[in-house]
Amino acid sequence: MPIYTALDGTEIYYKDWGTGRPVILSHGWPLSSDSWEAQQLFLASNGYRVIAHDRRGHGRSTQSWDGNDMNTYADDLAGLIEYLDLQQITLIGFSTGGGEVSRYVGRRGTSRIAQIVLVSAVPPFMLKTDDNPGGVPIEVFDGIRAGSLADRSQTYRDLADGPFFGNNRPGQDPSQGMRDAFWRQGLQAGARNAYESIAAFSATDFREDLDTFDVPTLVIHGDDDQVVPFEVGGKASAERIKGAELKVYAGAPHGITDTHKTKLNDDLLAFLESYAAP
């Protein structure tokens, strides 16, 4: 199994498919790199080297007791990039992975980065606070935490069967297999890791990280996202990142890597092909 070992001994599993200019895919909560398989297979089949890792505590990576925070996630990503000695990378982050990508740029800069894509991503700042009045109330995240402790398996079922894929909306019909895959990946994550990651994705302020973006950036978000509301996520990020391009998927839910995979794949490939090496 391909493994990168972080400085604290945590083993980070990754998939490395295809050849060409590198693309890195950072997954959402409480998922794993498996959630990216449609995009990874498509982009690798179209001439790119596509790498997707399991965040610490998730998937096949070590269920480390500590380090379940955005700074450590970003440092793990940096370590993997340096271990593989990648250059001219397109970084793509979905949901929590968008936070990981943003914090990486805030801490490490863009010397190795050619492009960035945020998909249904949690930046700039999800939590409602005095200086972020449009954010999501903490009671929402406290409810997810309470559910995770009371019945983690059912909590993941409820997310998959409801807001994540938009199954609670008229006209939406995500397959049972799609919803089961979310549940399976969620239970593969460590209980403490997934629990602490709720604070990492909801209460981390990425606004200053986004201010450091200085490479072409594409923001993709569904306007019926019930997990990371469009106004809180994609719209706010695109307004904050200098020169960012925003693509809005009308009526789309949070989990567009599955529900809108053909459209997303085409948009990602078009953005990748727009890059001209210096």
- Of the chain, the percentage scoring pLDDT greater than 70 comes to 100
Q: How far apart are CA 137 and CA 141, in angstroms?
A: 8
Segment 118-141, tens digit of pLDDT: 999 999 999 999 999 999 999 999
Q: Is residue 67 part of a domain?
A: yes
58 given a catalytic annotation: no
Tell me the CATH number at 255: 3.40.50.1820
Segment 222-261, tens digit of pLDDT: 999 999 999 999 999 999 999 999 999 999 999 999 999 9
Q: Is residue 278 part of a domain?
A: no
Distances (CA, A) of 170 to 27, 177, 278: 27, 19, 47
Please give the angle made by the CA atoms of 54, 145 and 170, to the nearest 5 degrees.
85
Per-residue pLDDT, 278: 79
Is pLDDT at 277 greater than 90 in this prediction?
no
254 given a catalytic annotation: yes
Is pLDDT at 197 greater than 90 in this prediction?
yes
* Global confidence as pTM: 0.97
Per-residue pLDDT, 1: 83
Helix 138-161 and helix 191-203, axial crossing angle in degrees, nearest 10: 120
**What dihedral do alpha carbons 106, 56, 265, 163 form, nearest 10°?**
-100
95 given a catalytic annotation: yes
Position 33: which residue type?
A: S
**At 270, is the secondary structure helix, strand, or coil?**
helix
- Of the chain, the percentage scoring pLDDT greater than 90 comes to 98
Position 210: which residue type?
A: L
Position 205: which residue type?
A: D
Q: Is residue 261 part of a domain?
A: yes
Catalytic residue among 95, 120, 148, 237: 95
Contact 105, 113 (CB under 8 A): yes
Position 150: which residue type?
A: A
Domain that holds residue 194: 3-273
If one counts the domains in the chain, the total is 1
Q: Is residue 95 part of a domain?
A: yes
Q: Is residue 208 part of a domain?
A: yes
Q: Is 271 exposed, middle or buried (0-12, 13-18, 19+ CB in 10 A)?
A: buried
Count of CB atoms within 10 A of residue 51's CB? 25
Q: How far apart are CA 225 and CA 166, in angstroms?
A: 8
Q: Is residue 179 part of a domain?
A: yes
Q: Is residue 222 part of a domain?
A: yes
- If you average pLDDT over every residue of the chain, what do you get? 98
Segment 67-83, tens digit of pLDDT: 999 999 999 999 999 99
Confidence tier at 156 by pLDDT (50, 70, 90): very high
Q: How far apart are CA 164 and CA 192, in angstroms?
A: 22
Q: Is 277 exposed, middle or buried (0-12, 13-18, 19+ CB in 10 A)?
A: exposed
Catalytic residue among 76, 161, 225, 258: 225
